[in-house]
Structure 1
Amino acid sequence: MVEDLLEGVIEGQGTWFAVVVLVVGAVVLTYSVEKLISYLTRAAMGFGVSIFALAIVFTGLEFDDTAVALVFGAGGLEDAALGTALGTALAITGITLAVAAIARPFPVDVPRDYLVLFALSPLLLVPFVLAGTLTAVHGLLLVAAFAALLGYVVVRESQRDVPVFRDSEIAERIEADGGVPLEEVSLAELDSRTVLEEIPEDRFVTDAAYEAAFWLGLSVLALGGLVVGSIMLQASSEVLVESWGIEETVFGATVLTLVLTFENLLLTIEPVRRGIPEIGVGHVVGSVIFSVTANVGVIAFVAEVTIPPAVLVFHLPAVIVLTAVAAAVIASGRLRRGHGYALAGLYVAYWLVAIFAFGGVPIPG
């Protein structure tokens, strides 16, 4: 695994190098998130589709979680892989969405049918958990379920009467990203040049026919940078913990949790700060749906998973409840600080019960 190789290199150089890698990783991650937001915005406008749909595709697919699931599953750590998938689903709503609402309350408009799919997605796991063992067939069904849900959103978005960024109200919010005022601009004239502040990459766009594909390609590169930054953060933090002698459980419950959720926090809070909450909410919705369907399914591809009793009686019900509450607050039309405190409170309560009654919590990925 790339992270293990990098960790070995860092250990060979010493603590000072781990600190350098940690700082560089944070910079790479932050820069990549900033660029991903700009590129996705332009790609959505170029294709005339919703940024919400693109956000689900590009930020909702947890590639690092998939890699962890494959490695853990192949290495006989199926329970750890399953815990990571469930932990991610919990942390996305209980930490990421909660912190975003507390830090910067924001309006949000997500179609009700999407929220229904979001709220019900954890229930797709129930029959498989009741079966007691996840097999490759179950994994295939879960991946197919994710593909169907994703396909529904993409098709539905392409058919919406007013795609995101063709709506003047939404476009006006982009002014927070440095865009120009829109009072004198007609909707027919809206494009990335009239709405968004110019970025250096704009000068490379010479053919409007390929503009959308160009920005989509850069989005893929930015996503790669995001993954690289995350790997650097995780590998360096683990080396620092070992060298500083921090107790492993304490590390997992504090430092590792913060490191593993840093990427998700950036992908949710930064778009909100820049006036494009569709990216942040799309990330939350996509990540939860992916975690409870395709990510669990991938684990079953490499090894059969015997479901621990605690998953059925506690961890999965916690995911179901927290996801339903998150869907309800999103449906309200505006995320407020009270919503954030409620989500965070439920997440803390989950941790306390998990630690004292079930002996531990899944670590979010």
Structure 2
Amino acid sequence: MPHALSPSLALLLVIVGVALTYFGAELLIRGAARLARRFGMSPFVIGVTVVAFGTSAPELFASVRASLEGAGELGVGNVVGSNIANICLILGIGALLAPIAVNSLVIKRDAPIMCGISLLAAVTMLDQRITRFDGALLLAGIVAYVCFNYWRGLKDPKTREQALELEHEHGLQLEKNIHPRLLPNLLFTIIGLVGLTGGAALLVDGSVDLARWAGVPEIVIGATIVAFGTSVPELAASIQAARKGHADIAIGNVLGSNVFNLLCVLGAAALARPITVTAHTLKWHLPAMLLVSILIIPIMGSGRRIARVEGTLLLLAYFAYAVGAYVLRLA
């Protein structure tokens, strides 16, 4: 098959695509959140819906775009790889900056919920095909998850506080700005959507060409380059939170983003077009995601914090996963 782009141009498209999706997501979060506030939505509800969706928007747009172009494996790799990157890279880097204290409810409730949803998503892949019915089931799951978070916020002041702090990490001061202006924030939202759409197109097209030139499956490119690129918003927000001493926000951001990726992103991609899952995914990428999703629970439970040593091990685990993906393919 002839290559449409040279490797250098394909790499440039990936870099520009990552930048556009990052800034597009930030503009979308700011514009949509302020519009929601203008129309009477509470800051807490905005935190568990608009902001949570916005941080996963790059994965969503990239995976749906890949699915529509017939590169569904790239979309699956994006979801699986992003979840691994979120746990290993984001929590690893956060722990290196400062040991992360872990709330007991995270260990007893939030992390097990993420593990359960990871297993549910894995079940949909076992027959090597994610159907539209599977996609609809996953999307129904994200609706239930958002409703659960809303109900939990009404009962748990800590959850409400975390949602508001996550907004502040994205530069939102919604409680102070009760009546945001309509047109500027509508413009932010539109520009953000355009940036996300264009960035996702460049990211997917460049990644597909890179995969062809390198002679590796799209799943490998999706699980490494695309996954890292689309995890930039979560990485930036979590590092900023850790620097400000809000390490619990980094954990909440990671767990919430992983749930959104599996339910919303994978569900939407499958609904757009059924996805074929390769044996390579079932043998390497999916087990790796399940393994880190499960192991993070005892890591967080050891002293109820993620220490610098454990952060280093998480980073090493990610690099071992990425290298293993390429080595196994070459073997």
Tell me, yes or no, whether TM beats 0.5: yes
State the match for 2:87 in structure 1: 93
**Partner letter of residue 69 of structure 1?**
S
1:329 to 279, 290, 299: 299
SS at match of 1:146: helix
**Partner letter of residue 85 of structure 1?**
V
| Partner Cα separation in structure 2 for residue 53 and residue 299 of structure 1 | 22
RMSD over aligned CA atoms reads 4.8
Kept in 1, the 8 Å contact 2:61–2:200? The answer is no
Deviation at 1:124, TM superposition (A): 0.6
State the match for 1:134 in structure 2: 130
| Partner Cα separation in structure 2 for residue 126 and residue 235 of structure 1 | 28
1:305 to 265, 269, 275: 275
Deviations 1:40-86 (A, max 9, x none): 9xx8xx948499746872455x2222222222212111212211111
Higher alpha-carbon Rg: 1
Q: In 2 relative to 1, CA 218–258 (structure 1 residues): closer, same or farther, beyond 3 Å? A: same
User: Which stretches in structure 2 are left out of the alignment for 5+ residues?
Assistant: none
**Partner letter of residue 111 of structure 2?**
L
1:356 aligns with 2:322: no
1:281 aligns with 2:251: yes
Deviation at 1:137, TM superposition (A): 0.8
Kept in 2, the 8 Å contact 1:68–1:81? The answer is yes
The alignment's TM-score, normalised by the length of structure 1, stands at 0.63
Kept in 1, the 8 Å contact 2:138–2:264? The answer is yes
The alignment's TM-score, normalised by the length of structure 2, stands at 0.68
Structure 1 residues 1-365: aligned runs within 5 Å: 29=23, 32=26, 47=42, 49=44, 53=48, 57-60=52-55, 62-109=56-103, 110-111=105-106, 112-160=108-156, 164-165=160-161, 205=177, 211=178, 221=188, 228=195, 259-331=229-301, 332-359=303-330
Deviation at 1:336, TM superposition (A): 1.8
| Partner Cα separation in structure 2 for residue 213 and residue 159 of structure 1 | 28
| Partner Cα separation in structure 2 for residue 286 and residue 335 of structure 1 | 18
Kept in 1, the 8 Å contact 2:25–2:54? The answer is no
Q: In 2 relative to 1, CA 223–85 (structure 1 residues): closer, same or farther, beyond 3 Å? A: farther
Q: In 2 relative to 1, CA 149–260 (structure 1 residues): closer, same or farther, beyond 3 Å? A: closer
| Partner Cα separation in structure 1 for residue 294 and residue 83 of structure 2 | 12
Deviations 1:316-365 (A, max 9, x none): 111011112233334453232122112112222222322222349xxxxx
**Partner letter of residue 156 of structure 2?**
R
Deviations 1:215-266 (A, max 9, x none): xx97995897598489669959x99xx9xxxx8689x699766644433210
Kept in 1, the 8 Å contact 2:85–2:231? The answer is yes
SS at match of 1:131: coil
Deviation at 1:91, TM superposition (A): 1.2
User: How many residues align structurally?
Assistant: 297
| Partner Cα separation in structure 1 for residue 321 and residue 161 of structure 2 | 38
State the match for 1:198 in structure 2: none
Deviation at 1:165, TM superposition (A): 4.0
Q: In 2 relative to 1, CA 132–257 (structure 1 residues): closer, same or farther, beyond 3 Å? A: closer
| Partner Cα separation in structure 2 for residue 75 and residue 233 of structure 1 | 12
**Partner letter of residue 99 of structure 2?**
P
Kept in 2, the 8 Å contact 1:119–1:327? The answer is no
| Partner Cα separation in structure 2 for residue 350 and residue 121 of structure 1 | 21
**Partner letter of residue 279 of structure 2?**
P
Kept in 1, the 8 Å contact 2:125–2:277? The answer is yes
Identity of aligned residues (%): 18
**Partner letter of residue 272 of structure 1?**
A
Deviation at 1:284, TM superposition (A): 0.7
